[in-house]
Amino acid sequence: MFVEEFRFCFWKWNWPLLSNYVFYYAHCMLFTFIHTFLVQKKTNLPLWLQ
């Protein structure tokens, strides 16, 4: 489950410039947590998160 969400996050946030890797990683993990939380709560996801 976590690996799938992680892959989804990296696919969704495929930024062209990854020089600021720390910020990118934190941002990615944040949205991964939010997406996983919404899925567990069975909440309707926004279109940009699907």
Q: What is the pLDDT along the chain (50 residues), one digit of tens a residue?
A: 455 655 655 555 555 555 566 677 777 788 888 877 777 766 565 555 54
**Radius of gyration from C-alpha coordinates of the chain:** 11
3-state secondary structure of 49: helix
Q: Which pLDDT does position 6 carry in this prediction?
A: 58
Task: Report the distance separating Cα 50 and Cα 12, nearest Å.
Answer: 10
Question: Where are the chain's structural domains?
Answer: 2-42
Q: Which pLDDT does position 1 carry in this prediction?
A: 47
3-state secondary structure of 50: coil
pTM: 0.34
Q: Which pLDDT does position 50 carry in this prediction?
A: 47
